[in-house]
């Protein structure tokens, strides 16, 4: 049996369909080049040990039999619950494990570092114990882990970390369809505002309780525009994708998840010649994206900066979870 393995998984960027995808509608998501890495070592003593410097976890250690009991530090949650879920299904016969996670991206951009580290942990455990789970089994266990912790979420970020590429995705992995995409003419701007995804999901769901027909109709509109955008992405019809992104932003604003800062960046990108622009993710903060003609790219980057955003260099459509070395 292998004693040590390192795996990595990508972060994600929502293209279209956020919020509605929590409620049985589709979205489009792409995996980004910034990766999370996890190294797992089998040890002799029956302990779980974790070092995760990016989230201030140092020499965290407890008996395997005590997983999930007692106080679990915030930064250790996703990895510890992932380990507990994995050993719940595939028990470790003897000894313990030591895990180290490292991120190439700051958790603050909202690229999905928690989901990526969950996927890394399950993939690494699967390989090192010989369980050899396929992609869907990794997705299912990682998604369960995220739900155990957050209670809510579509799993689109878990799918991007597992499968990579650009996906057409329906809630909970009911559909996970890789799209044949080489590149997307995308610019990403970071707003500098930190948001809590679950808080925003809850805000939107309060609105849905108050105005069920109105909000359900918005979700249906989002479904329609995601279907059209999927077709346009496959046809490389960026002007249509841009227009659909603008419509998507309009209804996200109606859901109450736009903010002045994001709107400033989005309008700046549009005015500088983008095909279209919208927020990406839960809204209010994190990032916005714009689809841009190559010749306007510099001007659009500058306009986002002038609006107070930070343009982030991201590679998209990258490989999903993979073994780095054994
Ligand atoms: O905030 P992010 O980037 O994790 O995106 C959240 C997207 C939602 O649709 C609001 C939630 C989800 O799990 O799909």
For residue 108, pLDDT beyond 90 = no
Exposed, middle or buried: residue 294 (CB in 10 Å: 0-12, 13-18, 19+)?
Answer: exposed
Structure confidence at residue 104 (pLDDT)? 84
Q: What is the pLDDT of residue 295?
A: 96
Q: Please pick, among 54, 134, 157, 237, the residue that the annotation labels catalytic.
A: 157
Tokens standing for residue 52: 């995760």
Phi/psi at 75 (5° precision): -65, -15
pLDDT surpassing 80 at residue 30: yes
The dihedrals phi and psi of 111, each to the nearest 5 degrees, come to -85, 5
pLDDT band at 148 (very low <50, low <70, confident <90, very high): very high
Closest C-alpha to 109, from 32, 186, 27? 32
Let me know if 237 is a catalytic residue.
no
Its pTM stands at 0.96
Instruction: From 10, 15, 18, 155, give the residue whose CB has the most ligand 1 atoms within 8 Å, as the site to mutate.
Output: 18
Spacing, Cα 153 to ligand 1 middle (Å) = 7
Q: 112-134: per-residue pLDDT in tens?
A: 899 999 999 999 999 999 999 99
- Decide: helix, strand or coil at residue 108: helix
Kindly report which listed range (105-119, 127-141, 290-304) carries the lowest average pLDDT score. Answer: 105-119
Ligand 1 centroid – CA 256 distance (Å): 14
What lines the ligand 1 site, CB under 6 Å? 14, 18-19, 21-22, 110, 112, 153-154, 156-157, 197, 201, 281-282, 286
pLDDT digits (tens, 9 = 90+) for 41-57: 999 999 999 999 999 99
Taking the centre of ligand 1 as the mean of its atom positions, its distance from the CA of residue 20, in whole angstroms, is 10
CB 320 within 8 A of CB 163: yes
| DSSP strands (E only) in 96-172 | 96-103, 166-170
- Pair 262, 288: CB distance under 8 Å: yes
Confidence of residue 109 (pLDDT cuts 50, 70, 90): confident
Q: Between these two residues, 113 and 144, which has the higher pLDDT value?
A: 144
- Mean pLDDT (whole number) for 245-258: 98
pLDDT value, residue 2: 55
């Amino acid at each position: 049996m292998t004693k040590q393995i390192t795996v990595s998984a990508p972060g994600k960027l929502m293209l279209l369909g956020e919020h509605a995808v929590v409620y049985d509608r589709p979205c489009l998501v792409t995996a980004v080049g910034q990766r999370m890495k996890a190294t797992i070592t089998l040890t002799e003593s029956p302990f779980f040990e974790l070092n995760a410097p990016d989230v201030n976890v140092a020499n965290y250690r407890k008996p395997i039999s005590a997983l999930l009991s007692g106080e679990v530090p915030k930064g250790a949650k996703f990895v510890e619950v992932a380990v507990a879920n994995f050993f719940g299904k595939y028990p470790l016969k003897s000894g313990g494990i030591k895990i180290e996670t490292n991120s190439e991206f700051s958790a603050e951009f909202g690229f999905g570092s928690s989901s990526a580290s969950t996927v890394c942990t399950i993939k690494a455990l699967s390989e090192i114990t010989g369980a050899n789970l396929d992609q869907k089994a990794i997705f299912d266990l990682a998604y369960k882990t995220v739900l155990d912790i957050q209670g809510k979420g579509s799993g689109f970020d878990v799918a991007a970390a597992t499968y990579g590429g650009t996906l057409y995705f329906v809630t909970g992995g009911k559909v996970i369809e890789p799209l044949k995409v080489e590149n997307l003419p995308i610019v990403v701007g970071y707003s500098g505002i930190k948001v809590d995804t679950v808080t925003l999901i809850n805000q939107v769901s309060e609105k849905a309780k108050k105005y069920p027909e109105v909000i359900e109709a918005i979700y249906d509109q989002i479904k329609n525009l995601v279907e059209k955008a999927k077709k346009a992405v496959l046809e490389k019809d960026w002007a249509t994708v841009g227009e659909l992104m603008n419509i998507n932003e309009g209804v996200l604003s109606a859901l109450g998840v736009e903010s002045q800062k994001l709107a400033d960046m989005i309008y700046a990108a549009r005015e500088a010649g983008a095909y279209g622009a919208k927020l990406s993710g839960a809204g209010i903060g994190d990032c916005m994206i714009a689809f841009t003609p190559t010749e306007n790219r510099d001007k659009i980057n500058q306009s986002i900066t002038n609006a107070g955003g930070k343009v982030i260099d991201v590679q998209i459509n990258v490989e999903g979870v993979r073994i780095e070395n054994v």
